[in-house]
Chains A and B, each alone.
Chain A
Amino acid sequence: MTGYYSINAILTDSQKLPCTFDLTVPHLGYLEGNPGAPIKSGTKLELPLWLAEMLAVSNNGSGSTVLTLDMPPALSGRVLNALKADPKTLDLRSLAPHFYGLGSRMLELFEEDEVGEVLGETFKKRAKEIADHAHNPRGALGEGAEFLRGLDEEERQLFRAAHESAKAVRTWMAELKTT
Protein backbone atom coordinates (compact mmCIF):
# COMPACT_ATOMS: atom_id res chain seq x y z
CA MET A 1 0.00 0.00 0.00
CA THR A 2 1.06 3.59 0.03
CA GLY A 3 2.75 5.65 2.64
CA TYR A 4 4.05 5.02 6.14
CA TYR A 5 1.36 7.19 7.69
CA SER A 6 -1.50 5.95 5.54
CA ILE A 7 -4.34 5.01 7.87
CA ASN A 8 -5.70 2.58 5.32
CA ALA A 9 -2.37 0.78 5.06
CA ILE A 10 -2.16 0.48 8.84
CA LEU A 11 -5.71 -0.85 9.11
CA THR A 12 -5.06 -3.27 6.28
CA ASP A 13 -2.02 -4.62 8.08
CA SER A 14 -3.96 -5.10 11.29
CA GLN A 15 -6.36 -7.60 9.74
CA LYS A 16 -6.03 -11.10 11.15
CA LEU A 17 -4.49 -14.04 9.36
CA PRO A 18 -4.71 -17.68 10.38
CA CYS A 19 -1.26 -19.16 10.98
CA THR A 20 0.31 -22.27 12.48
CA PHE A 21 3.42 -22.26 14.66
CA ASP A 22 6.13 -24.63 13.44
CA LEU A 23 8.34 -24.24 16.51
CA THR A 24 7.83 -24.11 20.21
CA VAL A 25 8.61 -20.55 21.22
CA PRO A 26 9.21 -19.77 24.90
CA HIS A 27 7.48 -16.81 26.55
CA LEU A 28 5.21 -16.16 23.60
CA GLY A 29 2.14 -17.61 25.29
CA TYR A 30 0.57 -14.21 25.80
CA LEU A 31 -0.40 -14.33 22.15
CA GLU A 32 -2.92 -17.04 22.96
CA GLY A 33 -3.88 -15.69 26.35
CA ASN A 34 -1.66 -17.42 28.93
CA PRO A 35 1.32 -15.17 29.59
CA GLY A 36 4.62 -16.68 30.66
CA ALA A 37 3.99 -20.08 29.13
CA PRO A 38 5.68 -21.16 25.91
CA ILE A 39 3.69 -21.40 22.72
CA LYS A 40 3.66 -24.99 21.45
CA SER A 41 4.55 -26.01 17.95
CA GLY A 42 1.44 -26.78 15.94
CA THR A 43 -0.64 -24.11 17.67
CA LYS A 44 -3.11 -22.41 15.36
CA LEU A 45 -3.58 -18.71 15.99
CA GLU A 46 -5.03 -15.63 14.35
CA LEU A 47 -2.33 -12.98 14.18
CA PRO A 48 -2.40 -9.52 12.63
CA LEU A 49 -0.91 -9.38 9.19
CA TRP A 50 2.11 -7.26 10.12
CA LEU A 51 3.19 -9.62 12.91
CA ALA A 52 2.46 -12.83 11.06
CA GLU A 53 4.36 -11.62 8.02
CA MET A 54 7.49 -10.79 10.04
CA LEU A 55 7.42 -14.14 11.83
CA ALA A 56 6.81 -16.04 8.61
CA VAL A 57 9.62 -14.50 6.61
CA SER A 58 12.17 -14.21 9.43
CA ASN A 59 14.95 -16.75 9.45
CA ASN A 60 16.16 -18.18 12.74
CA GLY A 61 19.31 -19.75 11.40
CA SER A 62 18.21 -23.36 11.43
CA GLY A 63 16.48 -23.03 8.07
CA SER A 64 12.95 -23.49 9.38
CA THR A 65 10.48 -20.68 9.88
CA VAL A 66 8.67 -19.79 13.08
CA LEU A 67 5.22 -20.19 11.60
CA THR A 68 3.40 -20.88 8.35
CA LEU A 69 0.68 -18.65 6.96
CA ASP A 70 -2.64 -19.78 5.59
CA MET A 71 -4.95 -17.96 3.24
CA PRO A 72 -7.44 -15.89 5.26
CA PRO A 73 -11.07 -17.06 5.09
CA ALA A 74 -11.93 -13.89 3.13
CA LEU A 75 -9.89 -15.28 0.22
CA SER A 76 -10.88 -18.92 0.52
CA GLY A 77 -11.90 -20.93 -2.49
CA ARG A 78 -15.56 -20.62 -1.59
CA VAL A 79 -15.39 -16.82 -1.69
CA LEU A 80 -13.41 -16.83 -4.93
CA ASN A 81 -15.97 -19.09 -6.56
CA ALA A 82 -18.76 -16.80 -5.44
CA LEU A 83 -16.87 -13.81 -6.84
CA LYS A 84 -16.40 -15.60 -10.14
CA ALA A 85 -20.12 -16.36 -10.31
CA ASP A 86 -21.42 -12.91 -9.45
CA PRO A 87 -19.19 -10.21 -7.97
CA LYS A 88 -22.06 -7.87 -7.22
CA THR A 89 -23.95 -9.91 -4.65
CA LEU A 90 -21.15 -10.44 -2.15
CA ASP A 91 -20.82 -8.40 1.02
CA LEU A 92 -17.08 -7.74 0.92
CA ARG A 93 -17.20 -5.58 4.00
CA SER A 94 -18.29 -8.43 6.21
CA LEU A 95 -15.50 -10.60 4.80
CA ALA A 96 -12.79 -8.01 5.39
CA PRO A 97 -13.11 -4.24 5.78
CA HIS A 98 -10.06 -3.75 3.58
CA PHE A 99 -10.74 -6.61 1.23
CA TYR A 100 -8.63 -5.53 -1.74
CA GLY A 101 -5.83 -4.32 0.51
CA LEU A 102 -5.74 -7.71 2.18
CA GLY A 103 -5.88 -9.38 -1.22
CA SER A 104 -2.96 -7.46 -2.63
CA ARG A 105 -0.90 -8.05 0.53
CA MET A 106 -1.59 -11.77 0.28
CA LEU A 107 -0.56 -11.72 -3.36
CA GLU A 108 2.78 -10.31 -2.25
CA LEU A 109 3.26 -13.31 0.03
CA PHE A 110 1.71 -16.09 -2.05
CA GLU A 111 2.06 -16.70 -5.74
CA GLU A 112 -1.60 -17.03 -6.65
CA ASP A 113 -2.19 -15.75 -10.17
CA GLU A 114 -5.79 -16.89 -10.10
CA VAL A 115 -6.61 -14.87 -6.99
CA GLY A 116 -5.14 -11.78 -8.62
CA GLU A 117 -7.20 -12.24 -11.74
CA VAL A 118 -10.42 -12.82 -9.82
CA LEU A 119 -9.79 -9.76 -7.67
CA GLY A 120 -9.11 -7.58 -10.71
CA GLU A 121 -12.26 -8.73 -12.49
CA THR A 122 -14.32 -8.27 -9.34
CA PHE A 123 -12.99 -4.77 -8.79
CA LYS A 124 -13.79 -3.75 -12.35
CA LYS A 125 -17.33 -5.17 -12.34
CA ARG A 126 -18.13 -3.66 -8.98
CA ALA A 127 -16.58 -0.32 -9.93
CA LYS A 128 -19.06 -0.04 -12.78
CA GLU A 129 -21.93 -0.75 -10.44
CA ILE A 130 -20.54 1.79 -7.95
CA ALA A 131 -20.40 4.47 -10.64
CA ASP A 132 -24.02 3.85 -11.56
CA HIS A 133 -25.08 4.17 -7.95
CA ALA A 134 -22.95 7.27 -7.41
CA HIS A 135 -24.53 9.07 -10.35
CA ASN A 136 -28.02 8.06 -9.47
CA PRO A 137 -29.16 10.21 -6.55
CA ARG A 138 -31.78 7.67 -5.45
CA GLY A 139 -29.11 4.98 -5.15
CA ALA A 140 -28.14 5.59 -1.55
CA LEU A 141 -31.68 5.15 -0.28
CA GLY A 142 -33.40 2.85 -2.72
CA GLU A 143 -32.66 -0.58 -4.08
CA GLY A 144 -28.88 -0.12 -4.06
CA ALA A 145 -28.55 0.23 -0.29
CA GLU A 146 -27.80 -3.46 0.17
CA PHE A 147 -24.95 -3.36 -2.35
CA LEU A 148 -23.51 -0.11 -0.99
CA ARG A 149 -23.39 -1.47 2.55
CA GLY A 150 -21.21 -4.32 1.30
CA LEU A 151 -18.50 -2.11 -0.21
CA ASP A 152 -15.02 -2.42 1.21
CA GLU A 153 -13.07 0.66 2.28
CA GLU A 154 -11.41 1.28 -1.06
CA GLU A 155 -14.68 0.94 -2.93
CA ARG A 156 -16.24 3.41 -0.53
CA GLN A 157 -13.59 5.95 -1.42
CA LEU A 158 -14.29 5.31 -5.08
CA PHE A 159 -18.00 5.81 -4.50
CA ARG A 160 -17.32 9.02 -2.63
CA ALA A 161 -15.05 10.34 -5.39
CA ALA A 162 -17.56 9.56 -8.13
CA HIS A 163 -20.40 11.00 -6.10
CA GLU A 164 -18.52 14.20 -5.24
CA SER A 165 -17.56 14.93 -8.84
CA ALA A 166 -21.12 14.38 -10.07
CA LYS A 167 -22.35 16.60 -7.28
CA ALA A 168 -19.83 19.32 -8.16
CA VAL A 169 -21.14 19.46 -11.72
CA ARG A 170 -24.74 19.58 -10.50
CA THR A 171 -23.85 22.36 -8.07
CA TRP A 172 -22.22 24.34 -10.84
CA MET A 173 -25.32 24.00 -13.00
CA ALA A 174 -27.53 25.11 -10.12
CA GLU A 175 -25.28 28.11 -9.49
CA LEU A 176 -25.62 29.15 -13.12
CA LYS A 177 -29.34 29.46 -12.60
CA THR A 178 -29.11 31.59 -9.49
CA THR A 179 -26.61 34.15 -10.82
Chain B
Amino acid sequence: MALPLPPGLTPSEVAFLCEMELVTVIPRQRLESLQLLGGTTPALIPPYRNNIPLWLALLLKKQRRANISPPPWLTQNSLQAILDFENEHSSTFSPPPRLPPTSSSTSSISPISPPFLPSSTVDAPADALPYHWLELAEILLEAAPDDFEDADLVRRLCRDLRETRMSKLRAGVDVLEAGGGVQMNGVGGMEVAEGRSFITGVIDGLRKISASKEQARRERESDERENGYPGTQEEDEDML
Protein backbone atom coordinates (compact mmCIF):
# COMPACT_ATOMS: atom_id res chain seq x y z
CA MET B 1 0.00 0.00 0.00
CA ALA B 2 2.54 2.56 1.09
CA LEU B 3 5.28 1.81 -1.40
CA PRO B 4 7.35 4.92 -2.10
CA LEU B 5 7.24 4.26 -5.84
CA PRO B 6 4.14 3.92 -8.00
CA PRO B 7 3.66 0.54 -9.68
CA GLY B 8 5.56 0.00 -12.88
CA LEU B 9 8.95 1.22 -13.98
CA THR B 10 10.27 4.72 -13.40
CA PRO B 11 11.68 6.64 -16.38
CA SER B 12 15.27 6.01 -15.32
CA GLU B 13 14.59 2.28 -15.06
CA VAL B 14 13.14 2.27 -18.56
CA ALA B 15 16.20 4.15 -19.79
CA PHE B 16 18.43 1.63 -18.05
CA LEU B 17 16.73 -1.20 -19.91
CA CYS B 18 17.12 0.76 -23.12
CA GLU B 19 20.90 0.78 -22.68
CA MET B 20 20.90 -2.92 -23.53
CA GLU B 21 19.81 -2.13 -27.10
CA LEU B 22 22.40 -2.71 -29.78
CA VAL B 23 23.59 0.34 -31.68
CA THR B 24 26.03 0.67 -34.52
CA VAL B 25 29.34 2.41 -33.87
CA ILE B 26 32.20 3.42 -36.11
CA PRO B 27 35.31 2.89 -33.96
CA ARG B 28 38.24 5.26 -34.06
CA GLN B 29 40.55 3.01 -32.09
CA ARG B 30 41.04 -0.72 -31.93
CA LEU B 31 39.28 -2.49 -29.10
CA GLU B 32 39.66 -6.21 -28.56
CA SER B 33 36.51 -8.18 -27.91
CA LEU B 34 35.40 -8.08 -24.28
CA GLN B 35 34.20 -11.06 -22.30
CA LEU B 36 31.14 -9.76 -20.45
CA LEU B 37 28.33 -11.40 -18.54
CA GLY B 38 25.89 -10.32 -21.21
CA GLY B 39 27.97 -11.97 -23.91
CA THR B 40 31.07 -11.24 -25.90
CA THR B 41 31.33 -7.90 -27.67
CA PRO B 42 32.74 -7.96 -31.17
CA ALA B 43 36.31 -6.73 -31.71
CA LEU B 44 36.24 -3.14 -32.91
CA ILE B 45 38.64 -2.41 -35.75
CA PRO B 46 38.53 0.99 -37.44
CA PRO B 47 37.04 1.83 -39.84
CA TYR B 48 34.66 -1.14 -39.85
CA ARG B 49 31.41 -0.49 -38.06
CA ASN B 50 29.98 -2.95 -35.60
CA ASN B 51 27.05 -3.42 -33.26
CA ILE B 52 27.60 -3.04 -29.53
CA PRO B 53 25.28 -2.34 -26.59
CA LEU B 54 24.24 1.25 -26.10
CA TRP B 55 25.92 1.62 -22.68
CA LEU B 56 29.28 0.62 -24.12
CA ALA B 57 28.78 2.85 -27.12
CA LEU B 58 28.04 5.81 -24.82
CA LEU B 59 31.20 5.09 -22.86
CA LEU B 60 33.35 4.93 -25.99
CA LYS B 61 31.68 8.04 -27.35
CA LYS B 62 32.46 9.92 -24.18
CA GLN B 63 36.11 8.87 -24.46
CA ARG B 64 36.12 9.89 -28.12
CA ARG B 65 37.00 6.39 -29.19
CA ALA B 66 33.97 5.81 -31.41
CA ASN B 67 31.20 7.55 -33.29
CA ILE B 68 27.61 6.34 -33.03
CA SER B 69 25.66 6.13 -36.26
CA PRO B 70 22.01 6.85 -35.56
CA PRO B 71 19.43 4.20 -36.57
CA PRO B 72 17.64 4.86 -39.87
CA TRP B 73 14.32 5.70 -38.22
CA LEU B 74 16.00 8.51 -36.28
CA THR B 75 16.42 10.72 -39.32
CA GLN B 76 14.51 13.70 -40.56
CA ASN B 77 12.75 11.91 -43.43
CA SER B 78 11.62 8.87 -41.42
CA LEU B 79 10.45 10.89 -38.45
CA GLN B 80 8.54 13.28 -40.71
CA ALA B 81 6.84 10.34 -42.46
CA ILE B 82 5.91 8.74 -39.14
CA LEU B 83 4.64 12.06 -37.81
CA ASP B 84 2.47 12.47 -40.91
CA PHE B 85 1.10 8.98 -40.36
CA GLU B 86 0.29 9.79 -36.74
CA ASN B 87 -1.53 12.96 -37.73
CA GLU B 88 -3.54 11.21 -40.45
CA HIS B 89 -4.68 8.35 -38.23
CA SER B 90 -6.24 9.93 -35.21
CA SER B 91 -7.10 6.75 -33.33
CA THR B 92 -4.16 4.39 -33.91
CA PHE B 93 -0.45 4.65 -33.28
CA SER B 94 2.10 4.04 -35.99
CA PRO B 95 2.77 0.29 -36.04
CA PRO B 96 5.85 -1.19 -34.37
CA PRO B 97 8.58 -2.65 -36.59
CA ARG B 98 7.77 -6.02 -38.08
CA LEU B 99 9.31 -9.00 -36.36
CA PRO B 100 12.09 -10.65 -38.31
CA PRO B 101 11.06 -13.91 -39.96
CA THR B 102 11.78 -16.72 -37.53
CA SER B 103 13.47 -19.75 -38.96
CA SER B 104 11.72 -22.91 -37.90
CA SER B 105 14.85 -24.63 -36.59
CA THR B 106 15.71 -21.93 -34.05
CA SER B 107 12.21 -20.70 -33.32
CA SER B 108 12.36 -21.77 -29.67
CA ILE B 109 15.26 -19.45 -28.92
CA SER B 110 14.87 -16.80 -31.59
CA PRO B 111 14.77 -13.37 -29.94
CA ILE B 112 11.40 -11.68 -30.31
CA SER B 113 11.34 -9.07 -27.54
CA PRO B 114 12.83 -5.56 -27.73
CA PRO B 115 16.29 -5.71 -26.15
CA PHE B 116 17.29 -8.66 -28.32
CA LEU B 117 16.07 -7.30 -31.63
CA PRO B 118 18.46 -5.23 -33.72
CA SER B 119 15.87 -2.44 -33.87
CA SER B 120 18.29 0.45 -33.38
CA THR B 121 21.26 -0.54 -35.51
CA VAL B 122 21.85 0.82 -39.00
CA ASP B 123 20.04 -2.24 -40.42
CA ALA B 124 16.82 -1.46 -38.57
CA PRO B 125 13.69 -0.70 -40.62
CA ALA B 126 13.37 3.02 -41.29
CA ASP B 127 9.60 3.24 -41.30
CA ALA B 128 8.68 2.22 -37.76
CA LEU B 129 9.42 3.29 -34.22
CA PRO B 130 10.83 0.51 -32.03
CA TYR B 131 9.82 -0.03 -28.41
CA HIS B 132 12.59 2.13 -26.94
CA TRP B 133 12.39 4.92 -29.50
CA LEU B 134 11.90 7.86 -27.16
CA GLU B 135 14.59 6.87 -24.66
CA LEU B 136 17.09 6.03 -27.38
CA ALA B 137 16.44 9.24 -29.27
CA GLU B 138 16.83 11.35 -26.13
CA ILE B 139 20.01 9.60 -25.07
CA LEU B 140 21.63 9.72 -28.50
CA LEU B 141 20.69 13.32 -29.11
CA GLU B 142 22.21 14.21 -25.78
CA ALA B 143 25.37 12.12 -25.97
CA ALA B 144 26.19 12.32 -29.65
CA PRO B 145 24.54 15.35 -31.29
CA ASP B 146 27.54 15.71 -33.63
CA ASP B 147 26.80 12.31 -35.20
CA PHE B 148 23.45 13.54 -36.53
CA GLU B 149 23.06 15.45 -39.76
CA ASP B 150 20.70 17.93 -38.22
CA ALA B 151 20.34 17.24 -34.52
CA ASP B 152 18.07 20.19 -33.80
CA LEU B 153 15.57 19.22 -36.46
CA VAL B 154 15.52 15.59 -35.29
CA ARG B 155 15.06 16.77 -31.71
CA ARG B 156 12.12 18.93 -32.72
CA LEU B 157 10.49 16.12 -34.68
CA CYS B 158 10.91 13.76 -31.72
CA ARG B 159 9.25 16.29 -29.46
CA ASP B 160 6.35 16.71 -31.90
CA LEU B 161 5.95 12.95 -32.16
CA ARG B 162 5.92 12.57 -28.41
CA GLU B 163 3.30 15.29 -27.96
CA THR B 164 1.07 13.81 -30.67
CA ARG B 165 1.27 10.31 -29.31
CA MET B 166 0.79 11.30 -25.67
CA SER B 167 -2.35 13.24 -26.52
CA LYS B 168 -3.65 10.17 -28.37
CA LEU B 169 -2.92 8.04 -25.34
CA ARG B 170 -4.85 10.46 -23.15
CA ALA B 171 -7.74 10.61 -25.59
CA GLY B 172 -7.90 6.82 -25.36
CA VAL B 173 -9.85 7.06 -22.09
CA ASP B 174 -12.90 7.97 -24.15
CA VAL B 175 -13.36 4.41 -25.29
CA LEU B 176 -12.56 2.95 -21.88
CA GLU B 177 -15.14 0.93 -20.05
CA ALA B 178 -14.87 -0.61 -16.61
CA GLY B 179 -13.77 -3.89 -18.14
CA GLY B 180 -12.37 -2.58 -21.41
CA GLY B 181 -8.95 -1.58 -22.61
CA VAL B 182 -7.14 0.85 -24.86
CA GLN B 183 -5.53 -0.22 -28.08
CA MET B 184 -1.86 0.38 -27.35
CA ASN B 185 -0.06 -1.32 -30.23
CA GLY B 186 3.18 0.43 -31.03
CA VAL B 187 3.36 2.45 -27.82
CA GLY B 188 6.93 2.74 -26.56
CA GLY B 189 8.35 1.84 -23.16
CA MET B 190 8.74 5.39 -21.91
CA GLU B 191 5.23 6.27 -23.05
CA VAL B 192 3.82 3.31 -21.16
CA ALA B 193 5.73 4.40 -18.07
CA GLU B 194 4.34 7.91 -18.41
CA GLY B 195 0.75 6.96 -19.11
CA ARG B 196 0.45 4.04 -16.72
CA SER B 197 -0.66 5.74 -13.53
CA PHE B 198 -3.24 7.90 -15.28
CA ILE B 199 -4.80 5.11 -17.33
CA THR B 200 -4.94 2.65 -14.44
CA GLY B 201 -6.40 5.42 -12.29
CA VAL B 202 -9.20 6.00 -14.78
CA ILE B 203 -9.95 2.29 -15.05
CA ASP B 204 -10.04 1.96 -11.26
CA GLY B 205 -12.41 4.89 -10.98
CA LEU B 206 -14.75 3.52 -13.62
CA ARG B 207 -14.68 0.12 -11.97
CA LYS B 208 -15.69 1.59 -8.62
CA ILE B 209 -18.59 3.45 -10.19
CA SER B 210 -19.95 0.41 -11.95
CA ALA B 211 -19.07 -2.02 -9.14
CA SER B 212 -22.64 -2.31 -7.89
CA LYS B 213 -23.96 -2.88 -11.40
CA GLU B 214 -21.37 -5.58 -11.90
CA GLN B 215 -22.33 -7.11 -8.54
CA ALA B 216 -25.99 -7.18 -9.51
CA ARG B 217 -25.16 -8.80 -12.83
CA ARG B 218 -23.07 -11.47 -11.11
CA GLU B 219 -25.82 -12.25 -8.63
CA ARG B 220 -28.37 -12.51 -11.40
CA GLU B 221 -26.12 -14.86 -13.32
CA SER B 222 -25.41 -17.08 -10.35
CA ASP B 223 -29.16 -17.16 -9.57
CA GLU B 224 -29.82 -18.25 -13.09
CA ARG B 225 -27.18 -20.93 -12.82
CA GLU B 226 -28.62 -22.27 -9.59
CA ASN B 227 -32.23 -22.24 -10.67
CA GLY B 228 -31.58 -23.27 -14.22
CA TYR B 229 -32.78 -20.85 -16.87
CA PRO B 230 -35.51 -18.45 -15.84
CA GLY B 231 -37.87 -19.94 -18.38
CA THR B 232 -37.51 -23.51 -17.16
CA GLN B 233 -38.25 -22.56 -13.61
CA GLU B 234 -41.70 -21.30 -14.49
CA GLU B 235 -42.43 -24.51 -16.31
CA ASP B 236 -41.51 -26.46 -13.20
CA GLU B 237 -43.96 -24.43 -11.15
CA ASP B 238 -46.66 -25.05 -13.71
CA MET B 239 -46.07 -28.76 -13.46
CA LEU B 240 -46.34 -28.70 -9.69
Chain B CB within 8 A of A78 CB = no
A132 vs chain B, min Cβ distance (A):
7
- In chain A, residues 64-102, which have Cβ atoms closer than 8 Å to a Cβ of chain B? 100-101
Q: Is the interface of B mostly helix, strand, loop or mixed?
A: helix
Contacts of B10 in A (CB 8 A): 168, 172
Given A1-B208, A111-B216, A123-B205, are A161 and B138 also a contact pair (CB < 8 Å)?
no
With A128-B171, A164-B197, A166-B194 already in contact, the answer to whether A119 and B212 are too (CB < 8 A) is no
Q: Which residues of A contact B171 (CB under 8 A)?
A: 128
Contact at B173–A116, with CB atoms within 8 Å? Answer: no
- Tell me which residues across on chain B come within 8 A of A171, comparing CB atoms: 11
CA distance A103 to B12 in the complex (A): 39
- CB-CB under 8 A from B197, the residues of chain A are 161-162, 164-165
A108-B212, A162-B197 known; A127-B6 Cβ under 8 A: no
B residues with CB within 8 A of A: 1, 6, 10-12, 15, 138-139, 142, 166, 170-171, 173-174, 176, 178, 190, 193-198, 201-202, 205-206, 208-213, 215-216
- A127:B205 contact, CB within 8 angstroms: yes
- Inter-chain contact A104/B206, CB cutoff 8 Å: no
B200 and chain A: residue at smallest CB distance = A161
Bound complex: CA A127 to CA B216 (Å): 26
Chain B residue at smallest Cβ distance from A178: B142
Instruction: Give 28 CB contacts A-B under 8 Å.
Output: A100-B205, A100-B209, A101-B208, A104-B209, A104-B211, A108-B211, A111-B216, A116-B213, A124-B173, A124-B176, A124-B202, A127-B173, A128-B170, A128-B174, A131-B170, A131-B198, A154-B205, A154-B208, A158-B198, A158-B202, A162-B201, A164-B197, A165-B198, A168-B10, A168-B194, A169-B193, A172-B12, A172-B15
Alpha-carbon distance A21/B230, docked complex (angstroms): 37
Partner of A128, one of B173, B196, B206, B210: B173
A contacts with B, residue count (CB < 8 A)? 37
Having A108-B212, A177-B142, one finds 19 other A-B pairs with CB under 8 Å, namely A100-B209, A104-B211, A107-B211, A120-B178, A123-B202, A127-B201, A127-B205, A128-B171, A128-B174, A131-B198, A132-B170, A135-B166, A158-B205, A161-B197, A162-B197, A162-B201, A165-B6, A165-B195, A165-B197
